Chains A and B, each alone.
Chain A
């Protein structure tokens, strides 16, 4: 597993849309299926490639819009050890595409550690709420697979708006989408493929 360090925070991808954010002894996991080593479990929504099922997780550590002791919705903030987590909107708008993620089903997470801000967008289309985010984003985990999430061209608009320090594509199967994303986005950020 590749790990990228910025300051004292280390991020890595884990699976299709999964992400680990580690600082010292704590690891916050988002949409991770194999939860070994996770101090906190965050889920953007409960679709199979994002959520392993309640029987496979420690429910007490879990934060999500619909399971676990810490139910969270867009605009809510929670502090988990050294992490401050804010939930933000993530949904499909339905224009020309199927609405698999209706508004209210899922969220994205903006996670602040003591030195950087990481934004995992969840499963979303290009929605106005994303373009209104005014936080300085250091690492953007951005879905680019086109199927029920952003297409590379829409992802470009997100990157142009947020201007993250580094953008890491997630949630794709077709590699041609990955290269399209990388090639059109690179002038506006630094793409790192993990």
Chain B
């Protein structure tokens, strides 16, 4: 295993330290960083207690943290309104009249809404939700592309205390159905479709099949994007919901651990639910959103959709809490041409861009001319999430995208000298926010290409060997030694089992230098990282067993573009087309396998061990 990890590390590791020209006035050296960091993790409760004071609480907490990890509660006794802290806190400030969201469809339709208008819409929708019987604690499940209407409905849900789960539209009806069966929502929200690469994705049909599969009765609200679908009796259009009106309702205020949103996250044998609570989550989200560089004057474009943790924390919540303007793009990055994102950055004067390593890998291969065709001088930073970012890709992004087109005192466009920071960050659904990464608005240290920077203050991060001992300049497992405010208020057994020997095991291999720089190397288990998406091999195995009666193993194969790609390991030959169609239809297009390898394996052996053995064989 070490050999394959060393091969990954080789693509990441760098001893270089880069201070991008626009950060020369505010970077700190490692000693200064270390002092701030050690102080924060020396008193985690005190540190986060101070951060929590930056939110508006209806009732202050009596203790910051209680319990023994992993069974801890944060801000105990505190009461808080999520919606007030996300949107309503801006009332009476200049932010109220600025754009909250600018949305763009793949076809080029654009829509803008101010914070005030968004609030008015949310107020109307929350009254309407109440009038159809949705209340505090009822789950609302979304199967939507990012639109103003879908974000408004998510906010309307939390305004009445109803937690939501956004399911990525790349999942098929079977996986959506499993989530419906698990959450038992009172309401589902979808669109009548949306365009992707010029083709209509029929979301409402997937929802109908998922409801049937889950055998769960609930209402569905359909946001009419295409306008060609005849609604069924149990379905209501978004406009009809909006027109229901009803009495104005106050923002729900509840205990700190009231459920805010949930996700089903990949474990080896399938997807399982976790839920984040209001107080701790919003404290962590507000702090890290400020630290990564978001400010009210920013126009921010994140390519990760709500449905993944980055898209929830750094689209739905963080930027709105700050008062930034969010650019939401509904379509594909390469439609009608591969420069679509660069075009969006140019046209909306985007200042902060957040995307994935896989996307940058693909864009870098398309050639520099697509970047150079656009002026992106408004960018002040590029953030990268979800997976390791090879130093080659980092350098391409820094030099080709990050230099800009206008000569500045310390940057020269012709020589691609680099100007703005390119920062890979580390996040995990269980952790809720970035916990590793260089912070533009806090402890900005020189950037080490290929790394995920250094631990963010407040998160006690370590890399340990198999005995739990800290290791430096050596490969180990990434762990958190102390609880974090947004510890899930609901999680599967696997999460609690990850707390062993006094710390939380993230499941990721990592390499930490003595100067705190961390390189994350990928999963230590069979869970796959495909284009930055954390995918379960078990979900694919289960559907092939159920539908074809075949016992297969799914392994993440090294992939130049997507980091990993699912490969089917079968004892006998299978028709790849049939397998792909089944996986696409049931599990979702994002889990589609790249191929089938015929190989003998012991069917009685535990699948997790088999996956690791096969992974080792292929990766080395």
Contact = CB atoms under 8 A, between A and B. Distances in A.
Do A and B make up one complex?
yes
Interface of A: 2-7, 165-166, 175, 179, 182-183, 186-187, 190-194
Contact of B99 (A166, A183, A193, A194): A166
B215 interface: no
Given A165-B98, A166-B99, A190 B347 contact: no
A165 B112 contact: yes
B411 to A, nearest CB: 15
Q: Is the interface of A mostly helix, strand, loop or mixed?
A: mixed
9 contacts: A3-B109, A4-B111, A5-B112, A6-B111, A166-B99, A186-B297, A186-B299, A190-B112, A194-B347
A192 B344 CA distance: 10
B377 A183 contact: yes
Contacts of A186: 297, 299, 349, 351, 378
Contact of A179 (B109, B114, B351, B377): B377
Contact of B110 (A5, A165, A187, A191): A5
Interface residues of B, number: 25
A6 B347 contact: no
B219 interface: no
B108 interface: yes
B147 to A, nearest CB: 12
B347 A187 contact: no
B349 A190 contact: yes
B240 to A, nearest CB: 17
A5 B99 contact: no
Given A186-B299, A187-B297, A166 B112 contact: yes
A165 B375 CA distance: 23
B287 interface: no
A172 B562 CA distance: 42
A2 B112 CA distance: 13
B113 A6 contact: yes
A114 to B, nearest CB: 14
B110 A190 contact: no
B346 A193 contact: yes
Contacts of B349: 182-183, 186, 190-191, 193
A193 B377 CA distance: 14
> Considering residues A5, A166, A186, A190, which has the most beta carbons from chain B within 10 angstroms of its beta carbon?
A190
Contacts of B110: 2-5, 192
B97 interface: yes
B52 interface: no
B583 interface: no
A7 B378 contact: no
A6 B121 CA distance: 13
